[in-house]
Structures are given as structure tokens and as C-alpha cells.
Chains A and B, each alone.
Chain A
């Protein structure tokens, strides 16, 4: 009984998320990969927010609104909830949530961009998610040895991401980490424009002269010096991806 109810809820959520997308036509920016998704998602959000603003209600001046998925969500419920901007609490009444999903889908205000953090933890996860949305921009962080138990090999994980990047339309953008061999190998599949970023290998956006400071690190990109108050090369990579996405939306 519980399984039937779960299936009904998932189907409803998927349906209303699709209605919302069809009605409001937001830009869907997907951040995916095995690790570092949150760092990349937050960096991209801050960059876009800095450029376009982020207000609760769109103004007459056309100030744009960015919705970002609050946490790492799995496919079935998390992605539709993120698209609709709904939250699940521990005491969530699923029937009330389905009602809210319907109202949001039919009458909810438009957002200009939705940034989704997308995780896959089993084969064919991506097929399910791509039934809900078509990504306009995909950013791939890495394919590392984590969450492998359901996939067997890293190559099997990469196959899921191939589905994702292949779905981006011609006028979209695929942003790939060129330091990860499996991610870089996906560059030949998209119809969309592909831009690469890296710290080690050559790429379209390559960080140079990365130096550690007392408070974080500093590096150069496009003849500009950027200072980060965080440690770890993943923050540099996230910053590069953020710059790429920000430049795309200029």
C-alpha cells in the first residue's frame, strides 16, 4: 500500500513539475557529477545572483528570479520539488503537498532560472529525470570513485552523464571539467556548445598560477586575479564553472 502511494505521489510530482516548466519556460541549469556538486551549484548561484539579482517577486523592470535546489535531491521526488520550489518537512502531509504542487504548477509565479543539483545513485536514474526537464545548461564536476556500488564501474556512471549532456539543445551549453578524463570524454556527444574548464590540463577556461594564501588561494583567469577565501582546488574549479555560466548569460 505504501509502495502504491509512493508511486502515485512521484507520478503527481513529476506531472506538475512538467506543467510548471511548460507554462513558465525557465532556464534549467543542471549541476551534476559525483562530488563537489554543492560547491559548484552555490558558486554558480552566487555568480548569477550577483549579475541578475534574485528577488522573491519579479519586478516590472524585469529583475530576474533564480531558484536553486536547496540540497542534494534524488530523482523521484527531490527534483520535482526543487522545480516547483516546494519543501518537504518531517511531518509533510503528502496529499497537501500534491495539492500545493498543483497550485504552484498552474498559478505559481515564473522564475527565470532554476539551478538543479542532480545526483545519480543507480543506473537509469538519468532517464527518469530527463522525462521531467530538458536542461539548457549542464555543468559536470567529476566522475570519481564514490557511489559506485550500484554501477560497478566509473564508465557505467559516465554513461548516465552522457545521456544528460546529449539532451542539451543546440542553443544550450555544456560545461565540462577537463581535468577529469571521463567528463572530458563526453565532449563529443552534445549538440550544444561545449566549454571546458580545468586547473591542470588545457581547456577553454584554465586557471593559472594557483597559489595558497593564509586565507585561501589566489589564481589567474583571463588576465584577472581572483582571490578565494576557501582551500581546495575544487573551489577553483567551481569558480571557473561559475564564470563560464555567468559569461553565457551575459
Chain B
């Protein structure tokens, strides 16, 4: 959609999942210092800089996740490389990977590239897009090798509860499949009553859980391409072989930036979170004004809202293209996120107030 939008002048994009903020200066400074001192020209160790992995290990342990930085933490080129390398490591041709519907568009593609088959199970829209355990159970077969999901969810912004996640983990243990938990939005939670839980905090499921994190969203570093995964040593041993073949190592300049991100940019993340919270309130207010066109579940996290299209339309793809061509507002068709996304659009509220207001002013005029 972004490519299509780029060809049309004066489009306001609520499509691509990039935040409006720039990378904090304190992070950039560390990268600049690394360049100045000649630290970034060469490859790092394939697992990543030891000092970065040490910092990650300490940070994880504060959150109740205990992993050996030498063998169980792998620094990657963003979350998508972590997921791709993992899938290539664990899948045989024809293995199935269950993904929720709706879920992040790229999941289906990377599963296929790794030789696997994506199998969808529907999230329950009426219950805030929560996991439906019965739907998940129906999707499990003898060929199931993994369950891949983002928590908090892209595109719905749902935060899955501890109870739901533990049930999923029990299923994974019973049926011997991996859980790939993509937690890139975990720092943007808007309801202070919600306590975020990761399955990586429960050591009973250690052998089955592969947790993925990226610096892209929390620290506004989408272009830096750096993230990490952590899991039991045995599976990381296999993943690193693929990672080595694909990329050798994550960009070293970005690894230095990542060190500063974890150690020094906590206050910036909180500023971003508060900013997105304000944008969330704004986009909800604007959606409320178009309540004959859209209905929505208010997200608890991320910076996406996933409204349902209420007016008659052929399909979400045509609706999104129509909106782009006629109102010059880019959104993402819900069908891109899986069959259960059909009839919806994804809108990014990680944009400044002006852009959000202009986009909705245009949509308001278009739908009158």
C-alpha cells in the first residue's frame, strides 16, 4: 500500500507501521561514538557483541527472564530476521505453523519461504480479539511445528492474558510445538492496570518458547535493523546457523545503538508511550465521529487500531484502494492480516496529531 501511495501526491499515510518519532539523540550519540572510535567497521561475533548480550541478559533478568547471554541470546537484524531464521531452523518442508487471524502480514510469507504451511485460527473479535483456545485446538495437527504470534498484537493491539498464554503453553508442551512470541510492542501499554506477561518468564516452558524483541518500535529505530531473540540453548544453536548464513551478524553500528537504547533511553520510551496514548485517544474520538462507517475495539497496546467497516463494500482491499484514490488516505486492508481480517482496515495512530486529524477530515468529507 505504501508503494501505491507513494505514486499519488499529497497522500496522508496511516498505513506503514512506523512511529512518527525520531531515534532519541542519546542512542544516535552512542552509534556516532562507535563510528568515531572505529568500533563498527568489522563483523561482530555471530551471536552479537558480548557487551550488548550481557546488557540484554541483565535487562531480561529484571523482568524475570533468565537466559545465558553466551549461548541463549542472539542479536538479529530486527524481529523479522529473528523469526525467519527461527522458522528456517525448526521447520521441515510441509510443517505447519499456526498463526492467529488477524496477525502481522509478513508472518504468512516467511512461513512459506521457510517451506512451511501457515494455518490460521481466528481471534475472537467480540472479546477484544482475544485468543479462542477452542479455535486454536482445532488448528493443531500432527504437522504443527510452531505457533507464531505477536503479543501485544499487530494489528489489533490486544494484550493476551497470562491465563490465555499459559493454556497455549500447555498445548504446546502436550503437542510438542514451539511458541514464537513476537513482543516488539510490549513497551506501549496504555491501561496501567494491565501487567504484561511473557511466557519466557515461566521456566516450565523454556524448551518451547522463543521470544523475539526488536528495538524498532520501542526506541524508534525501524531503520537500524536490530533486535534479538532468546530461547533454550539447544534451539538457539540451530537458529544461529541460519542467522550466520543469512546475515553473518546484525549491523554493528546498530548494536552499539542498541546498548544505549537499553541502558539510557528508558525515559524516551515513556515519552513515546505517553505520546501514543494521546494519539490513541484522538483516533478513537475521530473514529467515534465516523461511527456509521467504522466500529472498533479500543486497543490496549501497539499503535494500531483495527476498525471494522460497517458500510457495504466489496472487500477490504478495494475499500482501502478506494480510500487512497479518492480521499488520499492510505490504510492497510484487513485481508492482508489473514482471513479474519477481512472487512477491516488497519490504521496507524503512531503519527502526529496534525496528520491524524487531516486524514480523518478527508475521510469525513469523503464519506458524507
A residues with CB within 8 A of B: 34-36, 38, 144-147, 149-150, 214-216, 229-234
B residues with CB within 8 A of A: 37-39, 45, 49-51, 54, 57-58, 61, 66-72, 203-204, 206, 233
Known: A230-B66, A231-B68, A232-B71. 14 other contacts (CB 8 A): A35-B50, A38-B54, A145-B45, A150-B37, A214-B203, A214-B204, A214-B206, A216-B66, A230-B61, A231-B66, A232-B69, A233-B68, A234-B69, A234-B70
Q: Which residues of B contact A231 (CB under 8 A)?
A: 66-68, 72, 233
Which residue on chain A has the smallest CB distance to residue B70?
A232
Which residue on chain B has the smallest CB distance to residue A213?
B203
CB pair B66 A233 closer than 8 Å: no
Q: Give the number of A-B contacts (CB < 8 Å).
A: 44
- CA–CA, A214 and B207, complex, Å: 9
- List, sorted by A's number, 10 A–B pairs whose CB atoms are closer than 8 Å: A146-B49, A146-B51, A149-B39, A214-B203, A215-B203, A229-B66, A231-B67, A232-B69, A233-B70, A234-B69
Closest Cβ of chain A to B230, distance in Å, is 10
Which residue on chain B has the smallest CB distance to residue A230?
B66
Q: Which residues of A contact B45 (CB under 8 A)?
A: 145
CB pair B50 A146 closer than 8 Å: yes
CB pair B51 A147 closer than 8 Å: yes
- CA–CA, A65 and B160, complex, Å: 46
Q: Which residues of B contact A229 (CB under 8 A)?
A: 66
- CA–CA, A35 and B45, complex, Å: 14
Give me the 10 closest cross-chain CB pairs, A-B, nearest first: A232-B68, A231-B68, A146-B50, A149-B39, A215-B203, A35-B50, A230-B66, A146-B51, A214-B203, A231-B66
CB pair A144 B72 closer than 8 Å: no
- CA–CA, A222 and B67, complex, Å: 27
Q: Which residues of B contact A216 (CB under 8 A)?
A: 66, 203
Q: Which residues of A contact B206 (CB under 8 A)?
A: 214
Q: Which residues of A contact B37 (CB under 8 A)?
A: 149-150
CB pair B68 A149 closer than 8 Å: no
Which residue on chain B has the smallest CB distance to residue A36?
B54
- CA–CA, A144 and B69, complex, Å: 14
B-side interface mostly = loop
Closest Cβ of chain B to A199, distance in Å, is 12
Q: Which residues of A contact B67 (CB under 8 A)?
A: 231-232
- CA–CA, A150 and B203, complex, Å: 40
Closest Cβ of chain B to A40, distance in Å, is 12
- CA–CA, A150 and B58, complex, Å: 25
Q: Which residues of B contact A230 (CB under 8 A)?
A: 61, 66
Q: Which residues of A contact B50 (CB under 8 A)?
A: 34-35, 144-146
- CA–CA, A35 and B49, complex, Å: 11
- CA–CA, A230 and B45, complex, Å: 23
- CA–CA, A216 and B204, complex, Å: 11
- CA–CA, A230 and B204, complex, Å: 14
Closest Cβ of chain B to A156, distance in Å, is 16
- CA–CA, A230 and B64, complex, Å: 10
Q: Which residues of A contact B71 (CB under 8 A)?
A: 232
Closest Cβ of chain A to B131, distance in Å, is 25
Closest Cβ of chain B to A70, distance in Å, is 13
Q: Which residues of B contact A38 (CB under 8 A)?
A: 54, 58
- CA–CA, A149 and B66, complex, Å: 30
Residue of A38, A147, A232, A233 with most partner-chain B CB within 10 A? A232
Given A146-B49, A216-B66: A232 touches B58 (CB 8 Å cut-off): no
- CA–CA, A238 and B39, complex, Å: 29
Q: Which residues of B contact A232 (CB under 8 A)?
A: 57, 67-72
Closest Cβ of chain A to B28, distance in Å, is 17
- CA–CA, A36 and B50, complex, Å: 10
Q: Which residues of B contact A233 (CB under 8 A)?
A: 68, 70
Closest Cβ of chain B to A232, distance in Å, is 3
CB pair A234 B68 closer than 8 Å: yes
Q: Which residues of A contact B57 (CB under 8 A)?
A: 232
- CA–CA, A234 and B45, complex, Å: 18
Q: Which residues of B contact A149 (CB under 8 A)?
A: 37-39
CB pair B58 A35 closer than 8 Å: no
- CA–CA, A35 and B58, complex, Å: 12
Closest Cβ of chain A to B313, distance in Å, is 52
- CA–CA, A232 and B72, complex, Å: 9
Which residue on chain B has the smallest CB distance to residue A147?
B51
In-complex Cβ contact of B51 among A35, A214, A215, A234 (8 A) = A35
Q: Which residues of A contact B66 (CB under 8 A)?
A: 216, 229-231
Residue of B37, B54, B206, B233 with most partner-chain A CB within 10 A? B54
- CA–CA, A234 and B38, complex, Å: 29
Q: Which residues of B contact A150 (CB under 8 A)?
A: 37
- CA–CA, A38 and B66, complex, Å: 15
- CA–CA, A232 and B37, complex, Å: 31
- CA–CA, A56 and B71, complex, Å: 39
- CA–CA, A234 and B50, complex, Å: 13
Which residue on chain B has the smallest CB distance to residue A35?
B50
Closest Cβ of chain B to A37, distance in Å, is 9
CB pair B39 A35 closer than 8 Å: no
Closest Cβ of chain B to A207, distance in Å, is 15
Q: Which residues of A contact B72 (CB under 8 A)?
A: 231-232
Q: Which residues of A contact B70 (CB under 8 A)?
A: 232-234
